[in-house]
Every structure is written in structure tokens, then in C-alpha cells.
Amino acid sequence: MAWLLFAAQLATLVVVLVLLYRPLGDYMAAVYTSPKHLRVERGFYRLIGADPGSGQSWPSYLRSVLAFSAVGILLVYALQRVQQVLPYSLGLPPTSEPLAFNTAISFVTNTNWQSYSPELTLGYTVQLVGLAVQNFVSAAVGMAVAVALVRGLAHAVSGTIGNFWVDLTRGTLRILLPLSVVAAVVLLAGGVIQNLSGFQEVTTLTGGSAVVPGGPVASQEAIKLLGTNGGGFFNANSAHPFENPAAWTSLVEVLLMLLIPFSLPRTFGRMVGDNRQGYAIAATMGVLFVVSATLMTWAELATGSMEGKEQRFGIVGSTLFATTSTITSTGAVNSMHDSYSALGGGMALVNMMLGEVAPGGVGAGLYGILVIAIIAVFVAGLMVGRTPEYLGKKVGAREIKLASLYILTTPTLVLVGTALSFGLPGIREDVTGTSIWNPGLHGFTEVLYAFTSAANNNGSAFAGLTANTPWLNIALGVTMMLGRFLPIVFVLALAGSFAAQDRVPATAGTLPTHRPQFVGLLLGTVVIVSALTYFPVLALGPLAEGLQ
């Protein structure tokens, strides 16, 4: 019966995503290629002094990304530090400096890692003006970078990859904002709350009293999912009934996480002038997603444990949500991953270690899998002894170096961060004595999960880890920042390198990148290049725990 329920929910998702793949993908392609600017957009460009008609080289595009993100970090940090004087602060004090640092970087990098209990730490002004705004613009930044790489592959000898300010504005106003309004209305209809009522004392069923917080939840829930952000308004995230009241709203939230990432391959296909390329990328993402969801569900159904899971979702509803949130870089949870079986929790880890390309975060998933595709084409070129090409652009020494740096960044951050947490005297005692509540193999997995989540800009956590300490706040903050912006540097450099090239005509020796054989090659490259990098450290954590 459980497997029938799993198949029904998975089939529902597939059908809806297939139906929306073409219209949403085509719409996003039109948004990023239209020569027309809306009146409100022109007003914004005048305000910031940007020329929407000029293209940017990749260094200029990168400087814009970094400058915009730096300002965002400073603003979110400042809002938290002066929270007590802001309206709707609910009487809450300012956050500590390490926590404010961690949270500011977390939301600007689209990670939404939360080392705190949101409803007891942040007032409505910080939640709305700081965090919710970053949910929109950090997602728009990811989409802009992905579109810049696509332009590099699509354009010939242009030297430019678009205009960051135009891409950012259009992604926010034309895509994320209207979709979020629709999603928020659906969630409101499902029982998600939306108010400014503050804390209210209520009488419980047993006659006792409890303090229940309200808040503008539906609006934040919609963009946290659509933008693959993941930060919950409540500490229990999407396991809280105010954020996710029923089984059907949980399925809707899963759909919202997958909607844009699974439609972006269509946008890619349209922009490069070959829809078959988009189908190949989407098929690769789909196979990885289905396999991952099936394996995690199998691992949890094998134990039958409901610990850490909500009755209204059950095991299947929990594993489908957990797979989606860890494979899309969303980080939202409707169950506690720390309570999963060793192999089930290990699958959540592997989902992030894949680079979150199945389908990955909004924008980040597309540019991530395109980098893997470049490596796959290079490997195929080595096999036949010819210069590899991807979409008419040669993959030479410069391009493969940039792609290699991209795929090495997150494993380095994960492994170095985990090693330092256990290898540095003083830090080790703090981590094992204060942060880890489940010592041994499981405690090691909790720390490994934290750095994997931070480096891949996911934001989910094994709930048994206390992360609000000076070391973890700072170390995870630095990991999130480097895990976000170093890959963006390499992606934009790749985009610039491709944009400077002329197209080479396809020949009999050109590898077709739209056929099932390339999908198979791409799947193998994802697994070998991404997942197997982490096999030794997985053997120290979830695999060893699962074999005990």
C-alpha cells in the first residue's frame, strides 16, 4: 500500500511538471531574451544608474553579482543587530554578532541555514524586510548566473553575457513575484496562516495554556519553496502545521520546489536554439530524482519508523519531501532527517553531494549540470581522440580547468570544514561537548551533514546538532559564502570564455548531446565525478552506522 501511495504521488508530480515544462520554460526564455523593459523596471534602472541596453563582459557581470550580494549581507546583518528598535520587533533583542553574521550570509547565498529558532529570535520586520527580500533576490541571482552561462553557449564572438541588473530585475518581477503570489493564495486556501498577530496565549485540549506565535507565513512559505531557499518561519519548518497543514499542501510544496528547476532546461533549449538539448538535461535530472526518491523511501519503509515524521504526511510524504528539499538545495523539511535510518539519512547527504543537479537549486542546478555536461563532453573527446565540443563551442584547456575548479570547490569546503571541526584542539572539544548530542558515528554524520549543507547552499540540517556556537556560526558562514560565490566565479568565467568563441560546425565526429547515449554519459559523470568523491567520508559516517 505504501509503495502504491509513493507511485501515485510521484506520478502526480511527473504529470504536473511535464504539463508545465513547456509553457513555463518558454515564458522564462522570453523573459530573459525580450528587448522590452517594463515601466517599473526602467524606473529601477534609472534609480541605480544602470544602462539596460548595454551588455556586460564576464568580469563586469561578476563584479555586479558580488557587489549586490555584499550590500545584501551588510543590510541583513544590520537589521538583526538593531532589531530591538524596529517596528514589529515583538520585544525581541538583537541577535548576537556571530549569529547575525551566519544568518546574513545564509540568506544572501540562498542557503537559509538557521542556527536559531526563528519565531523566538527574529521579529516581523527582519523576517519580511531582511529574509523574505533575500529569498527573492538570491534566487534571482542564481537564475541570472545560469542564463549568463546559457548566453555564453548560445552567442558567437560577442564577448558579453548579458546585463546582471536586467536579469536580476526580470527574474524577480516577472517570474518569482507573480508565481509566489499564486502559490501564497493556494497555501492560504490550504490553511497556512498569514497575519501580524504576534504571540497569543491559548488554552490547550488538556486545559493548560500555551503561547502560540502568528506571522506572515504564507507569503514567506511560497518564495522559500519557489526560490529553493528553505528557511522556515517556524523552527519546525514545513513540519509545523502553520506552514504545512495537510498531506495535499505538502505535495503542493514539493511541486513548488521542483517547478522552476525542472522548467529551466526548456529555457536552456530555447535560448540555444535546440529544444532537444533541454530534453536531454531534463531527462538526466529526472532519472536522478526518481532513483534518489525511490532509494530513500525504500530505506525508510524497511524500518517502518515514524520517529521524527508527522502522522499527516507518513513515511512516503516525508521521504518525497526530504528527497526534493535535499536534491534542489531548498533545505526545507517536513520531517527530521536526524531521525531517519542511517541509509535514509545517508541518501539525503548523497543528494547534496551530487552537487544538487537533479534538478538542483533555482538557476544553480542548471549551471551545475551544464558544467558536468562540459566535463562529460571532454571525457568523450578523450575517448575518440578529438577536441571536444559542446553546442558548437570548443572545450579546451581553459574551459576544462574552470570546470574542474568548479567541481572541486564544494568537496574541498566540506572535507576541510569537517576535518577542522574534529582536528583542531579546543574546537574539537567544543563540537563534541556542546554541539553533538548523539556521539559516535551519528555525531560525525551530523557535522558532515552541516558542512555538506552549507557548502552546497542547501540549508537543511540533522536536527541533533547544536550549531549556534561561535565556531559553527563562523565556519559554516564562511563555507556558505565560498560555496556560493567561488562556483559563480568559475561559471561566469566559463560563460565569458564560450561567448568569445565562434561556433564550429558539427561534423561526423561531433558527439550528439541530445540523444539517450549522452544522457547515460551525463548520468555516469554525475555519479563518478560528484558522488564518489565523498565515498571515503561516507564510509566513516552513514555507511558505517548502517552496517552496525
Look at residue 307 and tell me if it is in a domain.
no
Domain co-membership, 394 together with 514:
yes
8 A C-beta contact, residue 362 and residue 261: yes
Domain co-membership, 267 together with 367:
no
pLDDT score at 296: 97
Secondary structure percentages of the chain, helix, strand, coil, to 5: 70, 5, 30
Domain span including residue 47? 29-273
Task: Place 365 in a pLDDT band, splitting at 50, 70 and 90.
Answer: very high
Lowest mean pLDDT, pick from 151-155, 156-160, 375-379: 156-160
Domain co-membership, 368 together with 234:
no
Domain co-membership, 266 together with 367:
no
pLDDT score at 507: 80
Domain co-membership, 136 together with 245:
yes
User: Domain boundary residue among 273, 290, 325?
Assistant: 273
User: Domain boundary residue among 273, 293, 320?
Assistant: 273
Task: Place 438 in a pLDDT band, splitting at 50, 70 and 90.
Answer: confident
CA distance 124 to 199: 12
Domain co-membership, 268 together with 380:
no
Look at residue 101 and tell me if it is in a domain.
yes
User: Domain boundary residue among 242, 273, 304?
Assistant: 273
Look at residue 352 and tell me if it is in a domain.
no
Q: Report pTM.
A: 0.95
pLDDT score at 463: 77
Look at residue 326 and tell me if it is in a domain.
no
Q: Is the pLDDT of residue 508 over 80?
A: no
CA-nearest of 280, 279, 285, 459 to 368 is 285
User: What's the rounded mean pLDDT across residues 185-194?
Assistant: 96
pLDDT score at 381: 87
pLDDT tens track for 15-55: 999 999 999 999 999 999 999 999 999 999 999 999 999 99
Domain co-membership, 252 together with 104:
yes
Look at residue 287 and tell me if it is in a domain.
no
Of the chain, the percentage scoring pLDDT greater than 70 comes to 100
Look at residue 375 and tell me if it is in a domain.
yes
8 A C-beta contact, residue 395 and residue 377: yes
pLDDT tens track for 260-278: 999 999 999 999 999 999 9
Would you give the distance in Å from CA 156 to the centre of its chain? 31
pLDDT score at 212: 83
Domain co-membership, 394 together with 505:
yes
Look at residue 313 and tell me if it is in a domain.
no
CA distance 304 to 464: 21
pLDDT tens track for 195-210: 988 888 888 888 888 8
Look at residue 345 and tell me if it is in a domain.
no
Domains identified in the chain, total number: 2
Domain co-membership, 182 together with 79:
yes
